[in-house]
């Protein structure tokens, strides 16, 4: 390595021994992972939790602005290793952004199928800019995923949704990082649930790290769906899922069983929160904590608020909340609060008057 070479720090390099790669696997990476675990300050104070510590695992700081990059570095690297020339996914937006970026980095073609009108603008523009062929269906995510499964069934195009097991392998590394940072697993881990791949991946990661002797305990997994899109909570698929948190607007999650296993094996729960609660938590995060995450990421924050009000959390415990995506992904939602705009003359008196000095 030349003395000017920058060290590769992606999740495959960092956690190679826990991942299904060999020396022959060509690593396609954008130095994803290594995201900060940010201590919550305003939230425990607001909830009156004196002896409970809360941390945000801020996955919005990944290269394409969401946790999907952890899974995508694995899925795309393995697709290249297998000789694939093209990849495809259905997406509510973040998977498509990530697939498009990693595919273009190694010259693979990328096709994405997204629900027309129900994807946040920042995610749509990422698919365009990273050069994916972007197909909008007049239907929802669940329909898109069914179509992608059929189109990729003959194996000519590699499916990179989280039913691709390499996605889960990559995403489990977020749990490793949390244990490395805290020195052990937290008592509780709260996370949004959409297609349910990520809760499945975290639980796998926590279990593997404990087995490897890196932690002494396992967390309770606390999953949160949006009330209008809560198939796992209701116990049946939802034909027409709705929520302002478009990332988790999913009615029939592919990893349903994985989520239920994570919940039951960990002694945790999967609950739902309303759009109103999600919106309040979303604003609290940005306006009080200074952490700007997208609406779906606020669902587990809303969930933790709900549980704290029921005195759910044990004294002395730690809660980690995964904030799955960046706030800038969804500018339309961010601008939907009628914030006052002060347009003033470019003149000192006008500015002084406006700031009251
Ligand atoms: N949060 C964000 C920001 C997401 O984009 C997603 C899923 C989730 C949470 C839920 O994770 O599906 O593993 O349970 N987004 C997928 C997509 C469906 O297409 O980008 P999950």
Instruction: Give, using CA atoms, the residue closest to atom 7 of ligand 1.
Output: 247
Q: What are phi and psi of 302, to 5 degrees?
A: -60, -40
pLDDT at 2: 57
pLDDT at 36: 98
pLDDT at 3: 64
Query: Is 106 within 8 Å of 26 (Cβ atoms)?
Result: yes
Give the tens place of pLDDT for each residue, 29-46.
999 999 999 999 999 999
Give the tens place of pLDDT for each residue, 103-122.
999 999 999 999 999 999 99
Q: Is the CB of 198 under 6 A from ligand 1?
A: yes
- Paired with 114 in beta bridges are 136
pLDDT at 246: 98
Counting from 1 in the atom list of ligand 1, the atom nearest the Cα of 97 is 20
Q: Is the CB of 248 under 6 A from ligand 1?
A: yes
- CA separation for the pair 260, 199 (Å, rounded): 9
Helix (H) or strand (E) holding 333: helix 331-334
DSSP state of 27: P
Nearest-CA neighbor of 19 among 259, 194, 212, 188? 212
Q: What pairing do the DSSP bridges indicate for beta strands 53-58 and 37-39?
A: antiparallel
CA–centroid distance, residue 318 to ligand 1 (Å): 24
Q: Does position 216 have pLDDT exceeding 80, yes or no?
A: yes
Q: Does position 226 have pLDDT exceeding 90, yes or no?
A: yes
Substitution candidate for ligand 1 out of 114, 248, 257, 293 with most atoms within 8 A of CB: 248
- CA separation for the pair 264, 154 (Å, rounded): 35
Sign of the Cα torsion 122, 128, 133, 139 reads: positive
Report the half-sphere exposure of 60 (CA within 13 A, side-chain side).
22
Order of strands, sheet of 86-90, starting from the edge strand that comes earlier in the sequence: 133-137, 109-115, 86-90, 158-159
Angle at 46 between CA 300 and CA 283, to 5 degrees: 55
- CA separation for the pair 145, 161 (Å, rounded): 8
Q: Is the CB of 300 under 6 A from ligand 1?
A: no
Nearest-CA neighbor of 299 among 285, 278, 279, 315? 278
Q: Does position 1 have pLDDT exceeding 60, yes or no?
A: no
Give the tens place of pLDDT for each residue, 141-195.
999 999 999 999 999 999 999 999 999 999 999 999 999 999 999 999 999 999 9
Sign of the Cα torsion 6, 7, 13, 15 reads: negative
pLDDT at 222: 99
Residue with tokens 């999740």: 11
Residue with tokens 């691709």: 164
What SS3 class is residue 137?
A: strand
Q: Is the CB of 195 under 6 A from ligand 1?
A: yes
Q: Is the CB of 324 under 6 A from ligand 1?
A: yes
Counting from 1 in the atom list of ligand 1, the atom nearest the Cα of 89 is 19
CA–centroid distance, residue 198 to ligand 1 (Å): 8
Query: Is 183 within 8 Å of 216 (Cβ atoms)?
Result: no
Substitution candidate for ligand 1 out of 136, 146, 194, 233 with most atoms within 8 A of CB: 194
Can you read off the two tokens belonging to residue 223? 């999953």
Give the tens place of pLDDT for each residue, 65-80.
999 999 999 999 999 9
Q: Is the CB of 231 under 6 A from ligand 1?
A: no
Q: Is the CB of 295 under 6 A from ligand 1?
A: no
pLDDT band at 6 (very low <50, low <70, confident <90, very high): confident
Counting from 1 in the atom list of ligand 1, the atom nearest the Cα of 161 is 19
Helix (H) or strand (E) holding 188: strand 188-192
Q: Is the CB of 94 under 6 A from ligand 1?
A: yes
- CA separation for the pair 171, 205 (Å, rounded): 8
- CA separation for the pair 255, 241 (Å, rounded): 17
CA–centroid distance, residue 192 to ligand 1 (Å): 8
Report the half-sphere exposure of 262 (CA within 13 A, side-chain side).
29
- Paired with 269 in beta bridges are 222
Q: Is the CB of 296 under 6 A from ligand 1?
A: yes
Query: Is 172 within 8 Å of 204 (Cβ atoms)?
Result: yes
Give the tens place of pLDDT for each residue, 118-152.
999 999 999 999 999 999 999 999 999 999 999 99
Q: Is the CB of 225 under 6 A from ligand 1?
A: no
Q: Is the CB of 321 under 6 A from ligand 1?
A: no
Q: Does position 272 have pLDDT exceeding 60, yes or no?
A: yes
pTM over 0.85: yes
């Amino acid at each position: 390595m030349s003395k000017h070479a920058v060290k590769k720090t992606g999740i495959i390099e960092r956690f190679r021994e826990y991942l299904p790669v060999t020396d022959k696997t060509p690593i396609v990476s954008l130095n994803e992972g290594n995201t900060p675990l940010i201590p919550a300050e305003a939230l425990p104070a607001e909830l009156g939790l004196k002896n409970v510590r809360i941390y945000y695992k801020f996955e919005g700081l990944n290269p394409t602005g969401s946790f999907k990059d952890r899974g995508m570095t694995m899925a795309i690297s393995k697709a290249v290793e297998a000789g694939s020339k093209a990849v495809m996914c259905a997406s509510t937006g973040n998977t498509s952004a990530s697939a498009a970026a990693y595919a273009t980095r190694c010259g693979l073609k990328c096709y994405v199928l997204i629900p027309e009108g129900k994807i946040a603008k920042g995610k749509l523009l990422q698919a365009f800019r990273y050069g994916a062929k972007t197909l909008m269906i007049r239907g929802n995510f669940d329909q898109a995923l069914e179509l992608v499964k059929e189109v990729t069934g003959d194996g000519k195009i590699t499916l990179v949704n989280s039913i691709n097991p390499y996605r889960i392998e990559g995403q489990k590394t977020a749990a490793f990082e949390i244990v490395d940072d805290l020195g052990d697993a937290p008592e509780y881990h709260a996370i949004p649930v959409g297609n349910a791949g990520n809760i499945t991946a975290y639980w796998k990661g926590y279990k593997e790290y404990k087995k490897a002797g890196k932690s002494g305990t396992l967390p309770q997994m606390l999953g949160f769906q949006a009330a209008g899109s809560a198939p796992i909570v209701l116990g049946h698929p939802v034909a027409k899922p709705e929520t302002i948190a478009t990332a988790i607007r999913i009615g029939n999650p592919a990893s349903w069983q994985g989520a239920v296993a994570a919940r039951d094996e960990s002694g945790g729960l999967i609950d739902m929160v309303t759009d109103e609660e999600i919106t309040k938590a979303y604003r609290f995060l940005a306006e009080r904590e200074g952490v700007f995450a997208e609406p779906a990421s606020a669902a587990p924050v809303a969930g933790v608020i709900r549980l704290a009000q029921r005195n759910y959390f044990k004294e002395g415990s730690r809660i980690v909340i995964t904030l799955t995506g960046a706030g800038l992904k969804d500018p339309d939602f961010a601008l939907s609060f009628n914030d006052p705009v002060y347009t003033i003359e470019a003149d000192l008196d006008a500015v002084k008057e406006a700031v009251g000095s």
